[in-house]
Structure 1
Amino acid sequence: MPTGVALRDAREQLFAAAERVLLRDGPNALTSRAVTAEAGCAKGVLHRHFADFDAFLVELVRDRIARLDVRAAVLREAAGTGTVVGNLTDALEDVFGSLALGILGLVIARDELRARLRATTPAGLPLLTEAAAMIGSYLRRERDLGRVAGEADVDTLALTLIGTGHLLFAGREDAPPDPDDVRRTVGSVVAGAVRAV
């Protein structure tokens, strides 16, 4: 590998390279050598920006979790528009995209990574915990608007949607589930809570 190649925004380029390896080859193939080879740089570049490979992975996962904040804001703004089921279906399809599933596989496969992430996500699985909070926040807003029943336990609904979504999307090598199937499942989960408006 050439050592004199300058990388603009090395962190983002290394993150993007890690995502490509993760999507193409899975979590077990994600090594510092695979990431730097994919990025077209020397292995030392990664270690110049991160203490070790697990520190790199922690920052990769945290960066991708931070992107949920943007999605959460979009979802909260959707409250009162469209349908609750439609908004939740779109959110689940976004949360469980192929990259998110790869990140989840990575977190599950690497004990050291999971242990380091406990500092910011002390319970549950990182990414899923934050996704459940995003959906719970959206459902609270819809409840305030009267589109979700006042007595609805939105936190339990959010956890149920995340767990069900994970089961629907995980383990599919060929293609994501049919959007109509996702919508039907979401509708079933929230049927007792969503008010017809």
Structure 2
Amino acid sequence: MKFPAGSLPECDRLNFRLPSLDDAAFYLKLMKDPDYIRFIADNGITSEEEARAYIQDKPLARFAQFNVGLWVVEVKETGQPAGVCGLVVRDELEYPDLGYAFLEEFRGQGIAREAAQAVLEHSCQKLKIETLCAITAPDNRRSSDLLKKIGFKGQGQRLLNEIGETSDYFVCELGST
């Protein structure tokens, strides 16, 4: 599964861009956040050097393979990276997976919702995707509530070998958002 390259999601307050190795400090901060570790993964990243290796091996590799991945989301006004949001293609899931993670200081401001909605619109209009899925940790209420607000419907749980845990599973038909 490879998608058209070149275009990026767009919205009012945020810019989307490809990650770069220069984002190592941002990725280190994001991936050391206790909620990131609790709800997404503990990748064991403890240095900028390890963060650069992660960026090369995961986000950049996914963009190279599929032309989609988790874009870095910046606040337009300041240019400061707030988080990541985009699509993850997983062998175990039948649809591209909407994923996102934001730094603590940007939570509760509607930024995750705005970014996720922009990715949905981009997926439908530019990438011509008809259906997306999303996974969350079962105890991540904020994330599951956000998914429901933007049109996802719960479809039970899935055990994913890639992450080694059972996740709540959601699906969104893009023509209905």
Q: Quick check: which has more Rg, 1 or 2?
A: 1
TM-score range, shorter-chain basis? Answer: 0.3 to 0.5
Under a length normalisation based on structure 2, what TM-score does the superposition of the two structures give?
0.33
| Larger relative helix fraction | 1
